[in-house]
Amino acid sequence: MAERPMPRSEVRSVERPVERREATDDQPTQITGYAALFDTPATIGGAWVEQIDRGAFDDALGDDVRVLFNHDPSRLLGRTASGTASIAVDETGLRYTVTPPDTATGREVLELLQRGDVSGSSFGFQVLADRWTEGTTSADLPVRHLERVTLIDVSPVTMPAYVETTAEARGQAFELSKHSAQLDAATAQRRLRLAQYRVE
């Protein structure tokens, strides 16, 4: 059996509205949105289709997760350990809520939301368990099911994107094809050839 590599950090995004909830008598202004959607296939760089299984985040719900702006550690909006942010799963996916600080970053993000400039959210993660299935025909992209992940952060973002460049997609396709312990050598090579063709 092939040795599985150390989990690499990955980022996935959702182009879905991020809400600004105005303050009430007993609640401060908050930001809320979905960082991930369950059972929603997404094509990653033309190399494979990816789907997040229900239960993928179950082990991560008690982790200390930070809410950042655009995944920038210097632009902290909140943190679950301090009680300024929370994450939860529902029928739709992974939802986050954060009370932004009265800082330049916090005020900026609230203003951008007011203007409609923030168009989605994303999450940084490492895969603990995944499952690959082949397409129905030899021309179909393989499907990667994310079964269990650990969260690094969730972020409202100005430019939601799954894979930024074809070079990144090619690199991920190569590594995932090379190290998958679930596929025999012939299947892994077929998937790699398909992935390389798709991202050219």
Task: Encode pLDDT of 72-125 as tens digits.
Answer: 999 999 999 999 999 999 999 999 999 999 999 999 999 999 999 998 999 999
Report if residue 1 sits inside a domain. no
Number of folded domains that form the chain: 1
Report the pLDDT averaged over residues 6-33. Answer: 88
How far, in Å, CA of 86 to CA of 38, rounded?
A: 18
Report if residue 58 sits inside a domain. yes
Report if residue 108 sits inside a domain. yes
Domain boundaries, position 96: 9-198
Of residues 75, 58, 57, 59, the one with CA closest to residue 67: 75
Report if residue 4 sits inside a domain. no
Report if residue 66 sits inside a domain. yes
How far, in Å, CA of 26 to CA of 92, rounded?
A: 27
How far, in Å, CA of 93 to CA of 114, rounded?
A: 24
- Residue 14, both tokens: 């959702």
Of residues 7, 16, 67, the one with CA closest to residue 40: 16
Report if residue 145 sits inside a domain. yes
Report if residue 17 sits inside a domain. yes
pTM as predicted = 0.78
Highest mean pLDDT among 2-6, 24-28, 68-72, 116-120: 68-72
Mean pLDDT of the chain, nearest integer? 82
Report if residue 2 sits inside a domain. no
Rounded-to-5 percentages of helix, strand, coil across the chain: 25, 40, 40
| pLDDT higher than 80, residue 181 | no
Buried b (16+ CB within 10 A) or exposed e, 115-140: eeebbbbbbbbebeebebeeeeeeee
* Beta partners for residue 67, in sequence order: 78, 154
